Each structure stands twice: as C-alpha cells, then as structure tokens.
A and B are shown apart, each in its own frame.
Chain A
Amino acid sequence: MPGKLKAKIVAGRHLPVMDRASDLTDAFVEVKFGNTTFKTDVYPKSLNPQWNSEWFKFEVDDEDLQDEPLQITVLDHDTYSANDAIGKVYIDIDPLLSSEAATVISGWFPIYDTIHGIRGEINVLVKVDLFNDLNRFRQSSCGVKFFCTTSIPRCYRAVMVHGFVEELVVNEDPEYQWIDRIRTPRASNEARQRLISLMSGELQRKIGLKVLEMGGNAVVGYLQCFDLEGESGLVVRAIGTACTLDKISNTYAPASAINPCNSSPSKDTKEAGFGEEAPGVPLSSGPPTPLRAQTFSSFSPSKSYSRQSSSSDTELSLTPKTARICLSPSSPTLQSKSSPIPTTKALRSTTPPPLHVSQSDTAMLRKSVSFSEDLLLAASGMGSGGSAGKEAGPLKALLRQQTQSALEQREFPFFTLTSFPAGFLLHVGGVVSARSVKLLDRIHNPALGNTRSYKLLDWNSFTADEPETRDAWWEEIRQEIKSHAKALGCHAVVGYSESTSICEEVCILSASGTAAVLSSRFMQDGALDMDHRLSRQQAPVFTSGTEKGEGDMGSSASLGFEDLAPPGCGFCHIPYDELNMPFPAQLTYCHCCRRFKVPDVLFTTIDLPTEANVTGKGCLIQARLCRTKKKAQGEGNATAISNLLPFLEYELHTQLMNKLKLRSMNALFGLRIQISIGENMLLGLASATGVYLTPLPSPGGIQIAGKTPSDITYEQHISNMQKKINDTIAKNKELYEVNPPKLFTLDPEAFRCINTELVEEVIGSPIPEPRQRSRLFRSHSESSDEVSELDLSHGKKDAFVLEIDDTDAVEDIHSLLTDAPTPPGFYSCNTEIMPGIYNWTSALQMFTSVRVFRLSNVNLTNQGLNKVFNDLCENLLKSLYFKLRSMVPCCLCHLNFTVAVPEDELIQVAVTAVAMSFDKEQTLENGRQSCDKTLMKAITENEEQLQFPLELTAESSSNPLSSAKGLSEVSGALPSARAPSVDYSSFTDRCSSWIEQLRLKAHTIRRGSIKTMSSLEKASPLPEGRSRSLRSNRSYAGGSVAVVKMTPLSFIPGTKIIKYLGIINMFFIRETTSLREEGGVSGFLHSFIAEVFAMVRAHVAALGGNAVVSYSMKECVFMENPNKNQAQCLINVSGDAVIFVRESELEATPPQPQSASTQTSSSGEGT
C-alpha cells in the first residue's frame, strides 16, 4: 500500500446547458481511480457549479499509480432518466510520482467528450503521498524520470548514459471487439482512450523498471508509438535511452559540464552556472528517493542489463560479416552462424541488390530493405575484401576495441539521443536503416490481461504455426541495424528511431539511426579508467594535446570532461580504414585539420553538433516520391511492396543528393525517411537539414548530359537546363551564404615543431586574406598528396552528371528545379538548431497543419502522382510561409512532416513545427561574429594541427602507399566506376546505373578514425555564445503570464528551463456524426487540433508549468465518411512540461569557467 492519491473537485465553469427547460445544468462529478469511485454532490441549476468537495482519498499500489490515470467524469443529474455524461478528464498521475517533478496538480481542465469536444472546464486539485517501498522485487518504477527531449535535459547533467531501453505491450483494440457492435460510439471511444492510457502507463512503468535495473534514474529521448493494427490488435511500444542524470546545482560551475548541445550554444555557457535547487531539496522532499538511491548502489552499472550481455560475444566477431553477406554466394553459411534466429535466418537476408530481383519471392518478401549501405555493399561487390580488412590498421582496431567494449556488452548499442554531451560523440559513420515488410495476422484467442504473450503469426514463416511476437520483429530489425553499424566501423547507433506504416494487414517496420563512434566516458562506471587507458593507447597517435587532457581528467572528470570537447571537425572524420572501405567513397583530407580523411558527403539522423564547423546557413531539403502499386491482398500485396521499397529508397536518395548539390551543401542532418503504404500507392518522404560542413570538401555542381548529342535543339534544351541549374546553384550559394570555405591554414610542416604554448600568439595575430590562403593551402595539400588516384577522383568530384534521354529524367530534373525557394526572410530546417542563426527573439509560434488531398483521376502515372505529391508538399510550405509572414525574419525549425494514405485516393500530410523570429540587425553583427568564429576556429584548428605533427607524418608515411593500392584496387575492380553517365533507359540498366551513381556519390556511410578531441577547441563556440546570451539578455523585457508556450524544440530561446515537471503523453479520440454541421472535415479537424492544444496547455498549467518542449504529434489518424456525415480522428501528442524563466529575469552572472573567459577576451582582441 505504498501510495495515497487525493483528489478534490473545486468548481466548474462554462458548462453546457443540459436541461433545455431551464437552460441550466445540475452537474455532479464522479472521480474514479482503479476500481474505486467517489461522487460529489449535485450542484443544481448552474453552469458554473461550485462543488468544493472534500478530499477523495484512494489508497493504491504505486504500480497502479503508474499505470492508471485519474478519471474525472462530469455528469448532469436527471431525476427521471439516466444521468447524462457531460464529459471527462483523464489526469496522468505520473508527474507527481517523481520527487523532482511537480508536487501538486491544480488547475482548470477542459471537460472533454469524444463526440462533442470540449464542454466547459473543471477545477481539480490532485496530490499524492508516497510511502517508502523497499521491496526489491517490486513492479513499480516510481521516480524514474522520463523525457521526450532527445538530448540531456537542460537543467541536468549526464553522469552516465546506460543505453537502449525498449518495451512493447499488445492488446486487443476495443474498437474491434464484438461488444463494439452494441455499444455507443462514445463508450467505444472512451474504452479506447482509457485502454491506451493504461497501456502507456504500463509501458512506462516497465521501461522504468529496466532503467532501475541498469542503474539509471531517467529515460531521455523517450519515444512512444501506437500501432493501430486493426483487427490484429493494438501495439504500444516505446524506446528510449537510459541515463543517470544529476540535477545541476550551483556548486557545479562548469559551463560545458552538461553543455546541452542541442541548444544554441550561447545559452549553455550562461545557463550552466545558474542555480537549481541544491540536490538536497528533492532528496528530502520525496519519499522514493532513498529507494532509488538504494537500487542505484546495489547494481553495479558495469554489469549492465543482464538480458543484454548475453549475445555480446558472438556479435562482436560475427556481425561485421553479416552486413556484407547479401551478395556473395557463400553468404548463407555466414549468415546462419551469426543469426540469432536460425530458422528464419536463411530467409531474412539483407537487401538483395536490385540486380537480383529474380531471387525467390520469399526471400524478397522477408528481406528487410536497408538503405544505402546495403545497396552500396551489394553494388561494390567487394564483400570478401571488406571482411578481411577488419584487421588492418592495428592501431585503430585496438582503439576501437577499447571503446567498443563498453558498448559491446549491450545487446543494442543504440541511443535515441540526437545531440550529446560534449565529448561523447567522436565520429559519425552515416545513416543506417532497415525496413521489413510483415503481414499482420489475427490474434488467436487473446488471453485478456496477458499483454505480452499475444502470439502473432508471421505470415510466411516456414511453419505457419510458429508464433512470432512483435518483439521478435523489432529484434530482427535492430540486429540488422547493429550489423550495418558494425560494417561501418562503428560500434554504436545514435539518433535512433523506429516507426511503422500499416495498411490493412501489411505493415512496414522501419528503423534508422546514425552509425557512430562514441566516447566510452559516459558509458560505464569504469569510464574514467577507460579513458585513461584509451588515451594511453592513443598516445602514439595524439601527442601533447591528449596528454594534457589526460592530466586534467582526474580532477575534471566528474565535472563533465570539458577538456575533451571535440574539435569542430572531429565527428566528420571517417571511423574506418580507408583501405577497407565497404564501398568506394571519395575521401579527402579534412579541410579543417588536414590530418584525417573525411567523406565528400555526410548523411546523419542526428542534430548538428554545436561544435561543428559550418559555413553559411542550413536549409530544409526534402525528397518526395509517390509510386503506384496494384491493389492486392495478403502475401501478394506484401511482395509487391517489398519489391517496390528498394526503388523508392534509391530514388529518394537520388533526389536528396541532387537537391543537396543544388544547394551547394555537403551534409544532411536530422534525416528522416518515411515510407507510407496505401492500397494502391506507396509514399516516400525524406526530410533533412542540409548544411555545408567546413571540414568536408565543397560539392561539385550538377552537370547534365544528353544522350543524343547530334540533335541541335536537344542540345540547346540541355544547355538551357544546365544554365538553369547553374543559376540555381549560384543563387542558393548566396541565399545560404555558402561561400568557399574560409579556411585559414598554414603549411603544417612549417609549424611542425611549434607546440601548444604558441596558441595565444596565433590567435592574436592578424590574418590576411583567408580565402587566398585557403586556396594556397589546398593546392599545396593536393600536390603533396601522394595518392594520385585520390587526386583524380578529387578532380572528378565536380562531374556529378545527370544524363537525360527520356521524359523520366527530364521530369526528375524538372522537379529538382521546381522546388520554390523560400521567400525572403524565411529559413527552414528540421533540426533543433539552424546553423548560422543565433539571435532568436522570444517570438515563437508552434503550429500544426494538416492537409488531405484527393486524387480524383483513376489513371495516374507515377510522374503524375509524383507531381501531385510534390505540389502538395510545396504548397503546404508556401502556405506556412504566407501564414507566418508577420514573423519575418524567421526560421521554421523542426519542420516535421508525416505522410499517410488514409484511404484509396487520399494523401494526408501533417506538419508540426515552430516558427521563431530572429533579429535581423544582429544577424549582420552575428555574421561578423561568425566570421570571427571561423577565424578563431581556423586558428584553433591550425594550432591543433600543430599539436600532432607526429601523427601526420605517421599517416603520410605509412598510409599513402597502402591507400593508393586500395584505391587502385577499387577502381580496377570497377572500371566503369567513374563513367559519368546514368542510364534511365531500361530497368536493369537503371539498376546498374544506381550502382554507378552511388559510387560516384559515395554517399551515406562515412567513417572516421577514432580520435580524442583537442582540449582547446572547445573554447571556440564559447566566446560567441557568451556575447549572444548577453545580447538576448538585452532584447527581452517582461512577457505575458498564464500563457503556455509549446515548441517541438528542446529549448525556448531567451529563456532558461529551471524545472522539468514530467512527461505529457496524451491520446484523444474525436468522433462526429454531424460532420457538415461542424464545418465539414476541415472544421472538424481544426477544432479537434485546437482542443488537443488546449488540453495539453491545461495539463501543463495545472502542473505549474509554462511551456511544453520537445512537443510532437506522433499520430494523427483521420477517417471520414462524408456520405454518412461522419468522421473520426485519433491524435497522440507528447512532450515535456517545464517551467522556464526569461534570461533577463535572472540577474546573477554565471561563474564562467576559466577557459571560456580567457577565450572571450582573446576573441575580443581578435576582433
């Protein structure tokens, strides 16, 4: 009996008229928790009743507290007939269970009815008294904090990042139960809402238990999803990253200790020092704390979660091969060896290359399509060569083993985070993704209550009776992702997410993330040890800088390792041996440090790291695709879909690549590819934020080549197009301020002997004509490059050729050019921060926009469909720009598109984003500043370069020969690799042309060697950050109260989040049988979305908060039947309720860390 829940019903207002005779209402309230119900008195004849009830007390298990919502029903008393329900309020108690979150829920809640919407408001007071439960076998996990935010939350510090947690629960969907035929729509909707509320409570509790077991106290990047599988049931699943978080108190001054990288870096320096309540406060206030402390200590974190350790050994050695097996004839044996599920393994192959379409149907069906890398691996046909290469580069291998060990113990070294504490993310490989097409089957004799054991039949497993759970499906996909990451020389996957698309009984499961190499420092208790060993290992490679870092580490480690902040280019460096690339890529030396290889293009699913060196601004890049599909049933349908998937993904990728080049950029962040299935079409939408990463080579233009050069008019046409493309590129360069990288670099050899002490001087010295110098340097580097092949390919880089010889290609290019530029004053991105814009004002507008498009003609070609879909998205964006024109200059951040095919001829696009205006005048100032910053960076980079002369020589002396060999091997094996043509003429040709293109582009998966960061580099974002925060200080004064802000971002500009009040996770159903009267479908959905916003705001306000961050609308399922005048809509939203204060209201100056202040002053000198 560890908890007492108390609720008090205070009053109501704006109630609807329930009694026509008197135009009044006799309202009373039922308060229900679990199976206990209390009632208030009837307050007769009033639309604004004052119940002022006693405290209703529920004595319950904490397990129930976590699972169950408090259910408040407002009714109209009727003497002669049944009481009429006015509406309900569900209150999630969870935020009250964590001692650090809210202590009381008190406020006005909208009374919601699934048929009538909001009907008045009710004022409620809820409290929880928790008792200590020392039972170690308890089923509850009270006190574990949940965050939707995909970074370390603002007022916390990550002590440890434990890793991936996942859970799913399954139940029958009440909508499809037999009883639904006899009950009212209202009862059915309420049953569904309640069930989902229960299931998400349960899910959260179970995940919490796992976190406690791992020794953590929080889940960050919590992502919960619903799969409405129709007749086969309802799946609620969640993934997240278990962490141990510490509240930042005044005593921890270091600015970079938490450095919540997702924010604009400016604030962090300021925020970090700001006082939270000392840790003692929450400790004393909440009963569960001692308990948590106990669990915490009883688990040795190094043991990690038991379930996960089991498979680690085998995974380590075997999985690298699995990634590349798909092509080689010998693969089946390898495969089964490494396969966790031997029976299905033979079928569960990775993507067969497009050339192998003729493979058996089953294989095709079962395959999980994994994007680029599979294609690449397949295409390159160098599987065998690759596997041997794992042993090469002994230093790096050793290094990798070291860092890996922390991760290898985990079953899935996945992280749902998209931005990381400083020094955590070392290298980024590239996007890894996997998809799998499954056929849903009816649940056989579901046993009520036993949620997890619902057996779901896999439609094409060998033995049809063999059960397979959803768990296994996901496990399969995760294994694949893991193996892809391994193939990229990465031991972890970051920015990981999972999604599904369901149409009838076919379901696509998708997972994607970014392969990465992480520092082990946040991983284990022994992290410190690890780091020391690591740096010793690296000693031969990295000289003084690391040594220095190591020296400091002992003291600073607990403060957050600020000494190891990565340099702005570190994460771009390839994490693998260039000798043994799993695919041919064009590598160049990093344009920042000149010592490590970087790929020419980098795709990731994470946010742009704050420390990244970026030139200019970023922009939203979208690839959109629509493909028709024949209507089919069951297996046939699934086959058709899985056959289409690789083509879809390929074309999406090509589009992304083209659009990236068109904008003269070389990296994508926040890449999200969504594929939706409908009865007769497949939709693909890829969104990402393109940026120009300074370390990466400047992208070449796009060249168009015609196939029949004899025709003069044709030639003209082509040259016209070419001109258009060139113009667009030039325009974009200007728009996004993507200039040739302003590098300030010096001949490394000349400075080889200069040590770190010289840094200050270099900073102070004037830097003449950086551009010229960079050019100088570049030519130098190229000429000094001993690898002639590399040079060649470097030259070829510009020859990104699109060949047109049919309408298809013309269309493609056309669509490439029809993307309307954003109107002046607007920028857009789908990530947390927009590179190049820092001086946000407090003007903030979160919005959701939904459009449904009906395709009325029956016979649409793929091109036609594409155009329709493309126009739909473009028009939607245009509308958004128009709507928000008053906020100019402004940036649409976190533009999150979701597409769906709700019915045969309907396409639904939903967007949630936030528009934030920024100060234009300060942009200039800022531009100047960023210019300074570039210089600064160049200096630091340069100086960093100087720190490691040994390494350079080592590499140049040992590698070039071998890498030259490697490259020539590659080019020898693929003589056509550089053939600058893409043939669209026939299907098979097309397949092979992919390969060529892919080679040319060498996209997606990039690797870099493992490297520690320079301790000094970190300083470069700081000066700017500080001055920025000062500026924002100036620009805000006052603000309205009682307003709840909402944003999909994890921060609100100009403010500081001082408290997280708990997670908001709400599910609503709205139905109408009078669609026309409610203003048609648009009117219906409009008011529903407004109502959802209102309910979210009310809950946050009741928790005492004034904002929701990391808000997202994860589900918006809309169904209509205009003939019957009916419509139904389901919406699921989530976010973190927080309290923020304006920075201007915080007068105290944060204690600046030493390094920051010195850097600031030095930057001042620089300017």
Chain B
Amino acid sequence: MSVELDVFVGNTTIMDKEVYQLWLNGYTVNDAVKVRIEGGVMEECEASAEVLLSDTMDQFRTFQMCERLLQNPAKLANQLLFQIPPDRQAMLIERYYAFDDAFVREVLGKKLSKGTKKDLDDVSAKTGITLKSCRRQFDNFKRVFKVVEELKGPLVENIKQHFLLPDQLARDYAAIVFFANNRFETGKKKLQYLTFQDFAFCAGQLINYWTVGAVDNMVEDMDVDLDKEFLQDLKDLKILITDKDLLDQHKSLVCVALRGKTKVFNEMEANFKNLSRGLVNIAAKLTNTKDVRDFFIDLVEKFIEPCKSDKWTSTDVNLYLTHYTNSAHILDTFKHQTVWTRYMGVIKSCILRMYHE
C-alpha cells in the first residue's frame, strides 16, 4: 500500500524558504526530511514524518519546475505558470544565485569549461558541498559569464539587469566573471588564506581602475579585459628601479617621511629596494597574459610575505604604501605620474585587503 501520487498546487505558489535552501544545497528528499525533523518543525506543527515527506517532495518538485525559469530570471517575472509574489520571486532568484564561498574559492579563476565541470566531484569531496549544489553554482557562473560576455556597458549593471540580482551579489558575480576571464591563479597554496571576498574586492578594484571600462564605458568586454594601453604604459615605471638615482632618492624620501612613525623602520629601510623592485616588476610584466594570471601570487610573494616575515602591521603597510606612492610624485625625473597613481591606487588597496595579520 503506498501513495502513488501526491500533489499540492496553490494558486499562489507556496514555497518554504527553509526547504528551498535544502533543495539548493542539493539534498535528496530523504536527507532534507531528516534535516527538517532535526530542525524541530514537527513538534512545532504537530506534523508526522509522513506529512513532512509529502510536503518536502512536493516542494522539491515545485522548485524543480521553477528551475527552468530561475535560469532565466527575467522570465520569472512575466511567466504565467506560477503566481509568485514579487518579493518571493526576488528571494528565489537571490538564493538560487547565491554560492558557497568554499566552492567559489575552488573554481575562482578557472576556465568555466566542461573540463572544470567534470572535476566538480573532487571539489564536492573536498568542500563537503553536494555535487548537485556544486553543479548548480558552476552552471550559474557559466550562465552569467556567457550572457555578459557579449554585452556592452558596465558589468555589474548588466548582471543586475539580466539576472535581477541585488547589488552585492551582482558585484560578486562580476568578480567571478572577471577572474574567469583573466584566469587569475587563486588556487596556489600561498593564496589559500585569502577568502573569496578578498578576491572579489580586488576584482572590484581592478575592474574599476584597470579595465577598458575605466576610460571608455561603451566598449564590449569593457569591464572584463584589462586596459592594454595601460598595461603597456606600466613598462615605463621600470625606471623607478633601473635608475639608481631615482631608486635612492625614492628611498630617502620614504625614509624621511616614515622615520619615527613605525616600529619596523629598520626592516623597512633594509628592505626598501627589494619591495620596490617587486612592485615595479609586477607592473612591468603585466603585458604578459601569463604574468597577469600570477598577479596575486606575485603580490603575495614579492610584497606581502617579506613584510609578514618582518612582522609589519597593516598600519605599517598602509603607511609605507602611502608614502611610497606619494614620494614618487616628488621625484623630479619621474614623468609617469598618472600611470603611477592608477597603478599604485589599486595595488595599495589590494595589498591592504590581502594583508591578513
């Protein structure tokens, strides 16, 4: 004896947020029921496990039917099949496009290709996120990537418009798209301590200041590709380390400014040339796609790690970078002020964000 068919259809589609989350997390119906039972909903509502199972199955089915629409959120608003209040629609979309930080850290900067998708079971095993959920999140990244790839206009706005996502989530997706497009290396061991939000912040900086869109806002891929001209110009910064006078001058200016203001002054003074060389070399190499990918690794290896071994605090780093940047402006023979500002602005905020004490 068994229930062969069991459906519940409301004129307004009923969706339980909690069950939706379980579905998004990729639980099977039975696992979801277990979680719900543990959550105590049964006692709360005098329900039996049977009722819970029926309700869970029903909702999972509803979500599955909605999934097609969620993949094209704009459709959800003007489809006729489900009558869902606007606030609910927004909730559904937001949660459908939400992702796990643990997951995104694994995929960030990787090519959103079939190959990557095949490796998702490893990701799933590593992160403890169900494969189903991994696939959903991966597909979301890929879908957003494909749609915005060919669009003109600001990246974040495009994502907001096409996927009806709230601002913060749209920014995160912009970061993901940006990373995927430029294939930044984020998986190396040395980068493991960085969270997705660290990277997302950096991506925001890069998008805002280093892409084509930062100068011209009506170009295709404007927010996805770095400004080639700018990268070319960065080569000119090399003079800061190749010209011995300039390097010494720069050092003395920074030392004067920092003397007495930091506990790590001696270490700073000793390391100045190394650090400066590191930063300028990163800039000079960015014309190389391969080196663009290693941008974050380089920042860590060439700057963050030396500072850390000398026990700099964030304040020290902040102080140093501020004066390092500003002092270059005072150098008479240094002519590349605009490029320098554009470069160091981003580098400074990225390093500060990435500098975990």
A residues sitting closer than 8 Å to B (CB atoms) are: 13-14, 108, 110, 118, 121, 823, 845-857, 868, 875, 878-885, 906, 908, 1040, 1043-1046, 1079, 1081-1083, 1085-1087, 1089-1091, 1093-1094, 1097-1098, 1118
Which of B55-63, B196-204, B282-290, B325-333 lies at the binding interface? B55-63
Assess whether B3 is in contact with A1090, with CB atoms less than 8 Å apart. Answer: no
Check A845 against B11 for contact (C-beta < 8 Å).
Answer: yes
In the assembled complex, which residues on chain B have CB atoms less than 8 Å from the CB atom of A1093? 9, 11, 83
Report the separation of the CA atoms of residues A882 and B33 in the bound assembly, to the nearest whole angstrom. 14
Alpha-carbon distance A315/B246, docked complex (angstroms): 121
Question: Are A882 and B47 in contact, CB atoms less than 8 angstroms apart?
Answer: yes
**A850→B7 contact, CB < 8 A:** yes
Q: Is A882 touching B1 in the complex (CB atoms < 8 A)?
A: no
Given A845-B11, A846-B10, A882-B47, answer yes or no on A1082-B5 (Cβ-Cβ < 8 Å).
yes
Q: Could you name 17 residue pairs across A and B whose Cβ atoms are closer than 8 Å? A: A108-B80, A846-B11, A847-B9, A852-B4, A875-B50, A879-B55, A880-B8, A882-B51, A884-B14, A906-B4, A908-B5, A1040-B85, A1040-B86, A1043-B12, A1043-B85, A1086-B61, A1093-B11
What are the residues of chain B within 8 A of A855 when measuring CB–CB? Answer: 1
Which of these, B4, B55, B75, contacts A883 with CB under 8 Å? B55
Cβ-defined contact, B81 with A118, below 8 A: yes
Residues of A within 8 A of B57 (CB): 1082
Contact B12 A1081 (CB under 8 A): no
Option from A848, A851, A882 in Cβ contact (under 8 Å) with B5: A851
Q: Which residues of B contact A908 (CB under 8 A)?
A: 5
Within the complex, what minimum Cβ distance (angstroms) separates B298 from chain A?
43
Contact A845 B80 (CB under 8 A): no
A1097→B1 contact, CB < 8 A: no
Given contacts A854-B1, A1085-B7, A1094-B80, 16 further A-B contacts (CB under 8 A): A110-B80, A845-B14, A849-B9, A850-B5, A853-B4, A854-B3, A854-B4, A875-B54, A878-B47, A1043-B12, A1079-B61, A1086-B62, A1090-B82, A1093-B9, A1094-B81, A1097-B11
> How distant is the Cα of A884 from the Cα of B54 in the complex, in angstroms?
13
Taking the closest CB of chain B, its distance from the CB of A907, in whole angstroms, is 9
Q: Report the bound CA distance from A765 to B47 in whole Å.
A: 49
Which chain A positions have C-beta within 8 A of B7? 849-851, 1082, 1085-1086, 1089
B2 cross-chain contacts in A, Cβ below 8 A: 853-854, 856
Return chain A residues, CB-CB under 8 Å to B13: 1090
Bound complex: CA A1097 to CA B81 (Å): 9
The answer to whether A878 touches B80 (Cβ under 8 A) is no
Chain B residues with CB under 8 Å of chain A are: 1-14, 45-48, 50-52, 54-55, 57-58, 61-62, 64-65, 75, 78-83, 85-86
Residues of chain B with a CB closer than 8 A to A823's CB: 45-46
Residue of B4, B46, B64 most packed against chain A (CB within 10 A): B4
Query: Shortest beta-carbon distance, B189 to chain A, in Å?
Result: 43
| Nearest-CB residue, chain B, relative to A905 | B1
Q: Which residue of chain B lies nearest to A1086 when distances are taken between CB atoms in the complex?
A: B7
A1046 to B1, CA, bound (A): 34
Q: Using CB atoms, name the residue of chain A closest to B9.
A: A1089
Select one of A14, A845, A906 contacting B75, CB under 8 A.
A14
Asked whether B9 lies within 8 Å of A879 as measured between CB atoms, the reply is no
Chain B min CB distance to A225 (Å): 22
Which chain A positions have C-beta within 8 A of B50?
Answer: 875
Cβ of B242 to closest chain A Cβ, rounded Å: 55
Q: Which residues of the other chain, A, contact B83 by a CB distance below 8 angstroms?
A: 1043-1044, 1093-1094, 1097
* Alpha-carbon separation in the docked complex, A908 to B79 (Å): 31
Contacts of B14 in A (CB 8 A): 845, 847, 883-884
Q: How far is the CB of A909 from chain B (nearest CB, A)?
A: 10
The answer to whether A1081 touches B4 (Cβ under 8 A) is: yes
A856-B1 in contact given A110-B80, A121-B80, A882-B55 (Cβ < 8 Å): yes
How far is A852 from B50 in the complex, measured between Cα atoms in Å?
A: 15
Known contacts A845-B11, A847-B11, A1046-B11; A1087/B55 CB under 8 A: no
- Main DSSP-derived SS at the B contact region: mixed
The 5 closest A-B pairs by CB, nearest first: A852-B5, A847-B10, A1089-B9, A846-B11, A1086-B7
Determine the residue in chain B with the shortest Cβ distance to A906.
B4
Q: Return chain B residues, CB-CB under 8 Å to A118.
A: 80-81
Is the Cβ of B80 less than 8 Å from the Cβ of A849? no
A853–B54 alpha-carbon span in the complex (Å): 13
Residues of the B chain whose Cβ atoms lie less than 8 Å from the Cβ of A108: 80
Whether the Cβ atoms of B4 and A882 lie closer than 8 Å is: no
Closest to B86 in A: A1040
Contact of A885 among B45, B65, B78, B79 (CB under 8 A): B45
Tell me, rounded to whole Å, the shortest Cβ–Cβ distance linking B55 to chain A: 6
Give chain B residues whose Cβ lies under 8 Å from the Cβ of A1085: 5, 7
How far does the alpha carbon of A823 sit from the alpha carbon of B48 in the complex, in Å? 12
Residue of B nearest to A887 (CB): B14
Bound: A1021/B164 CA distance, A: 50
What distance in Å separates the Cβ of A521 from its nearest Cβ neighbour in chain B? 38
Query: Which residues of B sit under 8 angstroms from A851, Cβ to Cβ?
Result: 3, 5-7
Residue of chain A at shortest CB distance from B47: A882
Tell me if B11 and A879 are in contact (CB < 8 A).
no
Which of B13, B46, B78 is most buried by chain A, counting CB atoms within 10 A of its CB? B46
CB B83 to nearest CB in A, in angstroms, measures: 6
Q: Are A878 and B9 in contact, with the CB atoms below 8 A?
A: no
**Cα of A906 to Cα of B6 in the assembled complex, Å:** 13
B58 contact set on A, CB distance < 8 A: 883, 1082, 1086
CB distance from B355 to the nearest CB of A (A): 47
Q: Closest chain B residue to A914 by CB distance?
A: B11
A1046: chain B residues at CB < 8 Å are 11
Chain B residues, Cβ within 8 Å of A1098: 80
Contacting residue for A1079 out of B1, B64, B85, CB 8 A: B64
**Closest chain B residue to A1098 by CB distance?**
B80
Select which of A14, A852, A878, A1089 is within 8 A of B3 by beta carbon: A852
Closest to B5 in A: A852
List chain A residues, Cβ under 8 A from B46: 823
Is A853 touching B3 in the complex (CB atoms < 8 A)? Answer: yes
Give CA–CA (A1087, B8) in the complex, Å.
Answer: 10
Task: Please tell me if the beta carbons of A882 and B52 are within 8 angstroms of each other in the complex.
Answer: yes
CB nearest to A852 among chain B residues? B5
CB-CB under 8 A for A845 and B10, given A879-B54, A1040-B85, A1043-B83 = yes
Cα-based distance from A908 to B6 in the complex (angstroms): 10
Q: Closest A residue to B12 by CB, please name it.
A: A845
Assembly CA distance A885 to B50 (angstroms): 16
With a CB–CB cut-off of 8 A, which chain B residues contact A13? 78
Report the bound CA distance from A855 to B12 in whole Å. Answer: 32
Q: How far is the CB of B89 from chain A (nearest CB, A)?
A: 11
Of the listed residues B1, B51, B79, B80, the one surrounded by the most CB atoms of chain A closer than 10 A to its CB is B80
* B51 close to A875 (CB less than 8 A): yes
CA distance A953 to B222 in the complex (A): 99
Residue of A nearest to B75 (CB): A14
Q: Is there an interface contact between A1091 and B81, defined as CB atoms closer than 8 Å?
A: yes
With A845-B11, A1046-B11, A1086-B65 known as contacts, the answer to whether A857 contacts B1 (CB < 8 A) is: yes
List the A side residues contacting B55 at CB < 8 Å.
879, 882-883
Give the residues in chain A near B12, CB-CB below 8 Å.
Answer: 845, 1043
Residues of B within 8 A of A883 (CB): 8, 10, 14, 55, 58
Q: A14-B79, A868-B1, A1090-B81 are in contact. Are A1082 and B6 (CB under 8 A)?
A: yes
Partner pick for B61 among A880, A1083, A1097, CB 8 A cutoff: A1083
Q: How long is the Cα–Cα vector from A1080 to B211 in the complex, in angstroms?
A: 50
B-side contacts of A847, CB under 8 Å: 8-11, 14
Please give the distance in Å from A461's CB to the nearest CB on chain B: 40
* CA–CA, A108 and B48, complex, Å: 42
A residues less than 8 Å from B80 (CB atoms): 108, 110, 118, 121, 1094, 1097-1098
A848-B9 contact in complex given A857-B1, A1083-B61, A1090-B65, C-beta closer than 8 Å = yes
* In the bound complex, CA of A846 to CA of B10 (Å): 6
Cβ contact within 8 Å between A853 and B1: yes
Q: With A and B bound together, what is the CA distance between A845 and B9 in angstroms?
A: 10
A1086 & B51 in contact (Cβ 8 Å cutoff): no
